[in-house]
Amino acid sequence: MATYEQIYDIWDGDKLKKEIVIAILKAAQDILNEDLGTTDHANRIKWANAALNDPYLWGIKMSVAVITSATIQSGTYTDGDVQYLINSAINTFADNI
């Protein structure tokens, strides 16, 4: 298991930050194109617009949903892992805009 310092170094590194921002941009674009009947669609649209307006801010906000994952902390993760974690957290963040 990674130490807190090691976890911080993963979180603070440019690689993960860039991956989170790209995952947010992709998720936001997907939401803008999703079915109107999607659960919590109105809040998701608000989130998507806010995320597209400032993906770096949302990258910081949503990094908690990524860095707390054991897969991410192991350092052996894929872009798909990051995308899954961002996608899984969207409704939680969207409901609090």
44 class by beta-carbon count within 10 Å (0-12 exposed, 13-18 middle, 19+ buried) = buried
**pLDDT score of 42 more than 80:** yes
Q: In this prediction, what percent of the chain has a pLDDT beyond 70?
A: 100
pLDDT recorded at residue 88:
98
**pLDDT score of 53 more than 90:** yes
**pLDDT score of 1 more than 90:** no
Confidence of residue 97 (pLDDT cuts 50, 70, 90): confident
